[in-house]
Each structure stands twice: as structure tokens, then as C-alpha cells.
Structure 1
Amino acid sequence: MNNMTAQAFTKKGGLFRYLLLAASIIAFLLIVQGGILGAAPLGKGCPDWPTCFGGWAPPGNPAARLHYLHRIMSLLLGLLVLAANWTSWRAIKAARWVRAALSMALGLIAIQVVFGGFIDLVGDSGGAAWVSVFHLLLALLVLGHLLPVTLIAFRTVQPAWESRRFAYKTGFVRLSIMALASLLVLYVSGASLAALHGSGVCQGWPLCGGDIFPQGTAGRVALVHRVMTAWAGALVAVLVIQAWRYRRNSTLVLVASTAAGVLFSAQALLGSRLVEGYSPSMQVLHQTSATALWASLVILVAELGLTERNTVGETKACQRVKGLRGQLYDLLMLTKPVVVALLLVTTLSGMVIGASSWPSFRLAFWTLLGGFLAAGGSGAINQYIDRYDDLKMQRTKKRPIPAGRLTPAEGLAFGVAACLAAFYLLVAYVNLLAALLALAGMIYYVLLYSLILKKSTVQNIVVGGGAGAIPPLVGWAAATGSLDIPALFLFAVIFMWTPPHFWALALVRLKDYTRAGIPMLPVVRGERETRWQILLYTGELVALTLLLPLFGLGGSFYLVSAGILGGFLLVSAWKVWKLGGNKAAWKMYRNSSMYLACLFAALVVDVLV
């Protein structure tokens, strides 16, 4: 293939990939949006079709606008799939099965539009409810057709589409297909139960009010739903175990199977919560999680089909070479437990300060467990992202992934599992606001800091410091169910504390950061400028902490403590500025950690005493 042909394929193939990626994302969001329309008490949507209340622009009520947005997104999805279909036929000459899958997806979308119009015209009748079940089934099938094609589009780096075929021969692959089929039945049975308004027919868990065989259609559907939950759960559990035993080097296989295991457990947990009491937000999250679970298993099946030819060699290469205790220890080290301990101190402090009292053991336990998993999971994903840089640094080259004690796939799968578990535990046992704040912190740290800022700007730790400042907000929200202005000052304290803390470490490990190409302040602007910035930020931090009582945070005990602690920290920063050297910088790094813990402890004491 000549260079011109290769360049043309690369350009067209890139367009094809991103058309498919956009279509897959919109297909997922449409299912989520459909769940919101069905669960949220927003009022009446569009009663006619294709217009909305007789016009082409929706009226001002939220339900009509959301309903109309659903139609626009459906149209956009159809156009994207149509464009991808045309590209697969005319531009890149994709394999026959790729063209067939996209044509099928386009046909399913057309049927979707017809059924959607029928639902709008019929309204809330019983027939419309059952059509909604079929509507949801078609939406899942559309997503199921798009995801494998998207996966193979990103995996194919040259015009070799005809050679990219799926192969399903081993027991592990067939097990994944069984799990996917069982999940589809489970999803449809759940939607059918909703159509029958039978969410409250089974008040007990796992039995229906003590009855093994409930009466009525809704009761029988509920029984099928629970039996399928147990069956599909067993299949997913076996998948996860087998993946961790034999697919330790297959990143996508291990991550998808592990995510499926956590998502399935979360689904069961949310389902039990729905039995205890209806909540629109919980129902929307239940459907969103189910869709994410479906997507995870579709990706798993597709990836297994693509990599099936290498299964034997991979299985031999992935035999466990050390004991379970050693692996668990290495997984714990991925969480950066010392860093997490400090974050949990600020989380608990946020709970106490927000509620002006000591939280119950149950609330504190679930909040801190969720916080540990959120911070630890983010740290594990960060170590996966930084695995090549860690090899270049004396401080980090003995971490589990660069040292070879864990595979990169294990590190990423563990991190994803911990982050997902953190979110769902906080949703189920704390509250939605605390869970969303924790989710924001995870996204902030992994995407904004680790992937974007860390290696692109000298301000990486300044902007990225916001991720570490979110834990007290999580604690505050957990204890109060809301966020108040004083909570933002706790955020600001940690935000201001982060740069001088990590710049002091960067001074000590200057050669490490230089070798790794990480643009920390001393690497880019020199040691003298860094020492001055440490002193400047420390002064601003101490000034901020002394102002907190003006905003309802802390009293006389805290103010005296903040003054003393701030004085010690300023002395450390002054020595860094005046004396220089690694000894002063290392002392500043250590002292700043103790300073933050003691400062928040003083706030807690002032509240409780």
C-alpha cells in the first residue's frame, strides 16, 4: 500500500471511528434519558408526534423540553449511524459483518422512532407501557450493535477489515455470551415489571413478602426477575474470577469483566433499595447502571472475540507467580494508603464540622469506606497512567506496576472497581450528593490532573490540587445532605495547602521529575523561584486559616491553634526560602502534612468541646 493510500485510509478511518464513538455515546445517553423521562416527576411531555403541543418548538415546561431533546438526540443518532454506514460501504470498504451490523443498527433506530411516536400518541395507556418495554429492548440492541463495531474500529490501525473477524471457541468466551444473554432477559423482565407497576409487589428481599411463589402476573414477573438476577450474578461472578486468574495481561478484558462484576453488585444493591422505597433518582441510577453493565458485557464479548486466537499463550503467561497475601498487599499499595489516610482525616472533619456533632458510627463507617475506595481507586488508576514515568523515578520505580508485581491490567481493573464501588456505596448508604461529589473528585484527579494537567503545564499541581480538596465536601454533604458556604472554605484551605506541600517534594526529587519529563515548578522555573512560591503560598494559606472564624468555622481554640500551627509552618517555609537544600525542603514536606491534620483536628475539637 503506497503512502497516499495509507494517508487516505487513516483520514477516513479516523472519521469512521469518531462517528461510531459519538453514536455509541448518544445511544447510551438516550437510554439514560429515557429512564429520566419515565421516572422523574417533571410533568407531561409532548402529547403528539412529530410536533410537540402542535408546534416544532417545545413549550417551557421541563418535561416537554426533555422529551423534545430526546427526539433531537434520536435524530442525531440516526444521522451518525447513517454517516458511519455510508463510510463503511463507500470510503473504507469495511468487512461484511461491519456493514451488516451498522445496517441493522440503522434499521433498529428506524423502528425505534416508530415505536417512540406510538408511545407519544397513545399516552399513558397499558399498551404504551408494553411498547415502552420493546422500545427499551431495541435501544439495548442498537447499543449492542454499535459497541463491537466501535471497538474494532479503534483496534484496526490499517485497512485490514476483512481479516478482523470474531472467534468464539473457548468456554470462557461462551460463558461471557451466556452472561450477556442472561442480562438481556434480566433487563427486559425488570422493564416488564415496571410496565406492570409491580415495583412494590414484592416487599421483602430476596423473597416476596415471605412467599416463594407470588400470585398474579406482576408477582410472577418479579419472581423471574429475581431468579434471573441470581443466575446472571453467578455467571458474572465466574467471569470475574476467571478473568483475574487467566487474563491478567488483557487490559480491556480484565477491566470490562471487573467493572461488570461491580456494576452487577451495585444493581442488586440499588434494586433492594428500590424495594424498600421508591426514589426517582434511585430508579434513574438503577437504569443507568444496568445500561453500563450491558455495555461492559458487550465490550467484553467483543474483545474476547477479537483476542480469541491468542488465548492459549496468554493463559500460560498469566499463571499466578505469588501468593494471595502478596497480591492483596500490592493492591493496597496501589491506593497510596498514607495519602488516603490524610484525606480521610479531612473527610471525617468535614462531617463533624458540618453537623456540629460527632456522626453516627454507621454514617461515619460508610462515608469513610466510600472515601477510601474513591481516593484509593483514583490513586490506582493514576499509577496505571504513570507506569512508564514511575520507572524513571527513584521514588516510584518500586511501586507494584513498574516493579512487575502487578500487571498494568490488574492495576487499572482494581482502580476502576474501587471507584465504582465507592460511588455506589455512598449512594446506597450515605446520600446522592456525597456520592456525586466523590465522583467529581475521581474524575477531577484521573482525567483533569493525571491525563491532562500533570505533563502539560507547570501549573499542574495548582489546578490539580482541587481533587484533594473535595474530601471535606464529601464529609460535609454526608452529614448534612447539603453544601454550605463554610464548606467551600474547607475546600479552599486544602486547595491552597497543596502547592507548597508538593513543590517541597519536587525540590527533593528534582532529578526524578526531570528524568520523567514532568513540568513541576522547580524543573521549569528553577529552585529559587520554587522556594519563593512555597513561602508565598504558605503565607496566603496561613492568612486564610486565620480568617475562617469570620465565616462560622472555628472559635477561640481553633484560632489559637491555627496561629501556632501557622507560625511553625511559616518557619519551615522561611527556611526553605532562606537556606535552600533538600533537608529544609523535606522538612517542609513532612511538616505540612502534620500541619493539615492538626489544623482540621483543631476545628473538630472546637466544635465538640
Structure 2
Amino acid sequence: MRLSSPLSVDDAGASMLPTPGARAATEPPSATVRSPWRRVLGVVGPYVALTKPRVIELLLVTTVPTMILAERGLPSLWLVLATLVGGAAAAGSANVLNCYIDRDIDQVMNRTKRRPIVTGEVSPRAALVFGLVLGVVSLTWLWFFVNPASSMLTAVAILIYVVGYTMILKRRTPQNIVWGGAAGCMPVLIGWSAVTGGVGWAAVLLFGVIFFWTPPHYWPLSMKFRGDYARAGVPMLPVVAKDTKVAREMIAYTLAMIACTLLLVPVAHMTWVYAVLATGLGGWFLWSCIGLLRRAQDPEHPKLKAMSVFHASITYLTLLSVAIAVDVFLPL
């Protein structure tokens, strides 16, 4: 709180302006205690931003339904919380290390130039230490409070994202997000192993759902920010290929994704309710990808509206996850 300079009484004994102490005494208590919290948030906030909370949220959306399916009911609340805490910390670690490695790219992209390392709110060294410590803590937490299998799978996920995607694939191939996106598929394996101690065929199919979902989810975002990626020298597919080619590949991946969701019916003993919902949701998302292709083929159309497909992909995955969780409690 900024206070005015102290003023003394004038010689004539006229009215005296309040001193800083007097002014603080007249203000409500909340005004005097808010500043320390703001200072704390000012320090903690940039570190939280480096973990990319919205990305973590999307990853965790698939974890809980997977655990419910593996348990064929509600797992213990402690196991769910322990898995989510460990998974969130691990994903945060991978995201922080991604920001550290990609800081040269982030500073030339409009979409990422406000990230804390670029703005100087967090130094590269501090970010590196934070990311590594967060990773070690997450793996240790999962090892002791969930099980060793989940911890080891989480370590694989971090390595795929940080080394496989960020350090090797991202700057070298247009298929970077396809193979690097495998890291985003790992939460379903981690959630399954948290309940069963291993990995089953249903978990493999759920991995396939996320794997084939990732390109049609991320490429529309790359279409919108293709200028950013081009300036940064990142060969995302929408940067190096025509929109029609990108849209066709999105359709192919979506069809493979739908196939995995339907194979889940016999493998995981899902009901007809899930089968209908999975078919309907898959058809809806497929139609949005087809619409993107039709707009790409139309030279008269001013905009692709790629972001509508991006948002549709998030809605699709969220509703499919809800359908999986709810279906467990329905009679066969």
C-alpha cells in the first residue's frame, strides 16, 4: 500500500492532514493484510504459470474415468487424490522443463511471449531447478503413495515429452505432435496402473483414443498460430503443408480414434449406452473435421475457423470421459 508523505501541523494550528500511521489506522483491516498476499502471489504465480495449469486440467480429465473403469466402480478417495496430485506435479514438471528448453522459441511467438521466463519474472536457472525438483517430488510421491508401476510410467511420460518431443522432434519434423503427443496419452496408463498395478488391453485402447485424438486437437491451434511457428522455425504440419492436407490427416486420425472408442465396448464390457454415446460424439467431431476440409477446399471462404475444431476436440474428450465413467455404473 502506497502512503503519502507525513505532513506536520501548520503554525496556525489549522486542520492537520493524517500521518501514515493515522491513515493506516482508519483503513479497513483487509487493506493492510492484502499486500503481503499480493507479494506472495507475485512470487508464486509465475511459477504456477510455467506448469501450464490448463494443460494439466485436460490431462487429469482422462485419469479419473480410467481409474473408475479399472476398478469397475469407485476407487478409494485417497488413491484418486494421490494419483491426481502426483500426476499434476509430474505434468507440471514436464511443462516447466518445456518452457525452459523452448524459451528461445517462446520469445518470438506472440502466443508465448508473455511466459514468465520470457518476461524475466522467473530466471532460466530457477525454472530449471523448479522443474527438476517438481519431477523428483512427483515420482517419489507416486512411488510411495500409489505404486512403483505408476511412478515408472510417469517417468516415461516426462521423458517422452521433455526429451522425445521438446528436445528431439519439435524442431525437426512435421509429425512432432503425433509421436510427442504420446506423453499426453500416459495418464490413462498411469490411472489404470494405480488401480490394478499393471496395464490391461482396455488401458491400451484408451491410450489409442488419446493418441489419435491429439493431432486433430492440436493442428487446428497450429493453423491459427502458423505465423508464430513459422517465425520460430518450428515445422508444425500446418506450417509446411496445405490446409487441405492437414484436414485430411485430421479426418484419418479421427476415424482411427473412433475405432478405438468402439473397440472398447467388447474389450472393457461397456454397455449399449456408451456405444451410442461414443458413436454420436465421434460422428459429431468427425463432422467438424470434415467441415474444416470443406472450408479449406473453398477458395471463396475467408476463414477456416480452425479454433472451432480445437474447442470441439476438448468438448469431445471431456464428454467421452464422462460417458466412460458413468457407463461403469449402468447394468449390462
TM-score if structure 1 supplies the norm length? 0.46
Counterpart Cα distance in 1 of 2:189 and 2:168 = 24
2:194 pairs with 1:473:
no
Q: Which of 525, 529, 540 is matched with 2:245 structurally? A: 529
Report how far residue 356 of structure 1 moved.
0.8
Counterpart Cα distance in 1 of 2:89 and 2:61 = 14
2:277 pairs with 1:556:
no
- Structure 1 residue runs of 5 or longer lacking an equivalent are 1-321
2:312 pairs with 1:596:
no
2:178 pairs with 1:462:
yes
The superposition leaves residues 77-100 of structure 1 with CA deviations (integer Å, 9 ceiling, x where unpaired) of: xxxxxxxxxxxxxxxxxxxxxxxx
Counterpart Cα distance in 2 of 1:452 and 1:568 = 35
Counterpart Cα distance in 2 of 1:482 and 1:600 = 21
Structure 1 stretches of at least 4 aligned residues deviating more than 4 Å after TM superposition:
none
Larger Cα Rg: Structure 1 or Structure 2?
1
Counterpart Cα distance in 1 of 2:306 and 2:132 = 34
Answer whether contact 1:553 1:603 (CA < 8 A) is retained: no
The residue type equivalent to 1:388 in the other structure is D
Counterpart Cα distance in 2 of 1:448 and 1:535 = 25
Q: Which of 286, 296, 305 is matched with 1:570 structurally? A: 286
Q: Which of 425, 435, 456 is matched with 2:151 structurally? A: 435
Counterpart Cα distance in 1 of 2:226 and 2:291 = 18
Q: Which residue of 2 aligns with 1:452?
A: 168
Q: Which residue of 2 aligns with 1:486?
A: 202
Q: State the SS of the aligned residue for 1:323.
A: helix
Answer whether contact 1:546 1:563 (CA < 8 A) is retained: yes
The residue type equivalent to 1:349 in the other structure is P
Q: 1:372 to 1:568 in 2, by over 3 A?
A: same
Give the RMSD, CA atoms, in angstroms: 1.4
Answer whether contact 1:377 1:416 (CA < 8 A) is retained: yes
Q: Which of 342, 347, 352 is matched with 2:58 structurally? A: 342
Q: Which residue of 1 aligns with 2:79?
A: 363
Q: 1:563 to 1:557 in 2, by over 3 A?
A: same
The residue type equivalent to 1:567 in the other structure is G
Counterpart Cα distance in 2 of 1:513 and 1:555 = 43
Q: Within 5 A, what are the aligned runs for 1:180-199?
A: none
Q: Within 5 A, what are the aligned runs for 1:291-330?
A: 323-330=39-46
Q: Within 5 A, what are the aligned runs for 1:53-68?
A: none
The residue type equivalent to 2:50 in the other structure is L
The superposition leaves residues 343-375 of structure 1 with CA deviations (integer Å, 9 ceiling, x where unpaired) of: 111111221111111111111111000000011
- Structure 2 residue runs of 5 or longer lacking an equivalent are 1-37, 297-301
Report how far residue 568 of structure 1 moved.
1.5
Counterpart Cα distance in 2 of 1:452 and 1:460 = 9
Higher relative contact order (CA 8 A, sep 6+): 2
Q: Which residue of 1 aligns with 2:13?
A: none
Q: 1:482 to 1:372 in 2, by over 3 A?
A: same
Q: Within 5 A, what are the aligned runs for 1:125-274?
A: none
The superposition leaves residues 496-531 of structure 1 with CA deviations (integer Å, 9 ceiling, x where unpaired) of: 000111111111111011001001001122222112
Q: State the SS of the aligned residue for 2:288.
A: helix
Counterpart Cα distance in 2 of 1:424 and 1:412 = 18
Q: Which residue of 1 aligns with 2:10?
A: none
Counterpart Cα distance in 2 of 1:514 and 1:608 = 48
Report how far residue 608 of structure 1 moved.
2.5
The residue type equivalent to 1:608 in the other structure is F
How many residues are paired up? Answer: 288
Report how far residue 485 of structure 1 moved.
1.4
Q: Within 5 A, what are the aligned runs for 1:271-290?
A: none
The residue type equivalent to 2:81 in the other structure is F
The superposition leaves residues 421-475 of structure 1 with CA deviations (integer Å, 9 ceiling, x where unpaired) of: 1100001111000100111100111011110001011110111111000001101
Q: 1:582 to 1:593 in 2, by over 3 A?
A: farther
The residue type equivalent to 1:475 in the other structure is G
Report how far residue 539 of structure 1 moved.
2.2
Counterpart Cα distance in 2 of 1:333 and 1:582 = 31
Q: Which residue of 2 aligns with 1:389?
A: 105
TM-score if structure 2 supplies the norm length? 0.84
Answer whether contact 2:79 2:146 (CA < 8 A) is retained: yes
Counterpart Cα distance in 1 of 2:239 and 2:185 = 25
Report how far residue 583 of structure 1 moved.
5.1
